[in-house]
Structure 1
Amino acid sequence: MITKNKNILSGGAVVFLLCLLFCMAVPLPLCAAGTLASEGENVSGNQEEGAAAQSAVPQADRVTYQEGFFYESLSDAVKEKITGISYGEGCIVPYEELTYLQVLYMDFEGQPQVGEIICNQAIAQDLVEIFYELYQASYPIERIRLIDEYGGDDTLSMEANNTSCFNYRVVDGTSSLSRHAYGLAVDINPLYNPYVTYPNGKRRVSPTASEIYADRSLDFPAKIDKNDLCYQLFTEHGFTWGGNWKTMKDYQHFQKALPQK
């Protein structure tokens, strides 16, 4: 019995030594790099899982434009997510007039990401075509998330440089409904393309962190002007740009009117 136990222990020791030698043979930087890559994949994966959760079961009316680019009516899961936030109390826009989009985009690190947008059904086809062209051109967009992830707070969304569309709210500083309230306006990279007004003749920049980017004579990444691809694509699809407004400037903002019935 004693001899048998000794042999078993000896065999276990051999296995332990073999494992130890194998681990010592693997370069530490390689192991560390593998771990970092895995963590990076999880970050992107989590964003994709979030979008996939909203569209796990395709709606019957889903329209796929290209792989990774589709739109459909709002699922029950999406309605639940936005109700009481971007779809606030008293919203006059029926759920049936809103559309859920999934698009791909290149982030500021040059990595492909999955984005979510809710818009008016009247501009859904425009948006999948525009964002597809932006993606094909590797146009940098920091993030595209539903504004509900920021509690429906437009300022928080802008500070995060989040590209978004539908949000039932009024125009800042007024009691008039914004085009965003109808899902007919899109804000692109808002941190670098701020909303600039002049109340009482004094310049006001929103978000406040974008003060430096209000100077459009400067060159910086993600700046939208008339030479920018984003401007060209949106205007080709019949959108107007807030950067062309006279009394105020909304450099992030593209909007479209409802088609005449």
Structure 2
Amino acid sequence: MDSTISSEDFYISEITDELFDRMKGKSYKDDCNVPREDLRYIHILHKNLEGNTCEGEMVCHKIIAQDLLEIFEELYLNDYPIERMVLIDEYGADDETSMTANNSSCFNYRVISHTTKISKHGLGIAVDINPLYNPYTKIVDGTRIVEPAAGEPYLDREADFPYKIDEDDLCYKLFIEHGFEWGGSWTSAKDYQHFEMPDSVADELRAIY
């Protein structure tokens, strides 16, 4: 491991009682079917756009924890800019608020709209990176939906702006190498911030839970 990487800065742990108290009723809803024991807390360092070192934290499913640690170590060593990475519970587990703050996150329990299926964020196997600058967008009944709404100026993916993820981006390359799929490659919608494990992995977990 590179000498600039310390196990005190980059590590994985189980969900402590103290951490669980921060999550209960927020990202870990009362009806959450994912056992606390299957989740992991990861602590990392990341650089912001100014090159300053920041502490980062994220909750994810245990099956991707090591992958995320390796990805974020590599991003840090390459000075890849991530503006903010705090638990989504700091925003009351509200996606729009967290995304507008350009907060990178993973686990947030919910089911897919109009279904009883746990979403990939709800399973802790989907990660959003620098979401303000890499919004989700879809045309619904002739109207363009943009999430977060403040991300609309960044729908022009030919433009040059900070934090932009595309297929030449190191973040994209690392997530793909680790078996994730990118929402920016979707056809019916675009989710430029979003990296997720394949449907087959999600279906296996849903069958358990």
Distance 2:74 2:97 in 1: 28
Stretches of 4+ aligned residues off by more than 6 angstroms: none
Return the alpha-carbon distance in structure 1 between the equivalents of residues 184 and 16 of structure 2: 34
Q: Partner of 1:177 in structure 2?
A: 118
Please, what TM-score do these two structures have when normalized by structure 2?
Answer: 0.89
Counterparts of 1:68 and 1:220, CA distance in 2: 29
Over 3 Å counting, the alpha-carbon distance change for 1:252 and 1:102 in structure 2 is same
Could you say which residue in structure 2 is the equivalent of 1:206?
Answer: 147
Whether 1:242 aligns to 2:179 is: no
Which of 196, 220, 226 is matched with 2:167 structurally?
226
Give the deviation of 1:105 after TM superposition.
0.2
Structure 1 residue 201, shift from structure 2 partner: 2.8
SS of structure 1 residue aligned to 2:43: strand
User: Does residue 192 of structure 2 align to residue 251 of structure 1?
Assistant: yes
| Fraction of identical pairs, as percent | 52
Residues 8-65 of structure 1 show CA distances to partners (whole Å, capped at 9, x for unaligned) of xxxxxxxxxxxxxxxxxxxxxxxxxxxxxxxxxxxxxxxxxxxxxxxxxxxxxxxx98
**In the alignment, is residue 159 of structure 1 matched against residue 159 of structure 2?**
no
State the partner residue of 1:31: none
Higher relative contact order (CA 8 A, sep 6+): 2
**Whose helix proportion is higher, 1 or 2?**
1
Whether 1:120 aligns to 2:61 is yes
- Report the Cα offset of residue 68 of structure 1: 1.1
Residues 141 and 189 of structure 1 are in contact (CA less than 8 Å); yes or no, is this contact kept in structure 2?
A: yes
Q: How many residues are matched? A: 197
Match of 2:72 in 1: 131
Higher gyration radius (CA): 1
| Secondary structure of residue in 2 paired with 1:231 | helix
CA RMSD in angstroms comes to 1.8
1:129-170 per-position Cα deviation (integer Å, ceiling 9, x unaligned):
000000000000110000000000000000000000000023
Residues in 2 aligned to 1:174 and 1:150: alpha-carbon distance in whole angstroms? 24
Which stretches in structure 1 are left out of the alignment for 5+ residues? 1-63
Cα distance in structure 2, aligned partners of 1:182 and 1:250: 18
Mapped to 2, the partners of 1:244 and 1:66 lie a distance apart of: 34
Q: Give the SS at the match of 2:75.
A: helix
**How far apart in 1 are the matches of 2:114 and 2:180?**
23
Distance, in Å, in 2 between the alignment partners of 1:67 and 1:152 is 27
Amino acid across the alignment from 2:130: N
Asked if residue 142 in structure 1 is aligned to residue 83 in structure 2, the reply is yes
**SS of 1:123's equivalent?**
helix
- SS at 1:191's partner residue? helix
Distance in 1 separating the partners of 2:136 and 2:151: 9
TM-aligned CA deviation for residue 109 of structure 1: 2.0
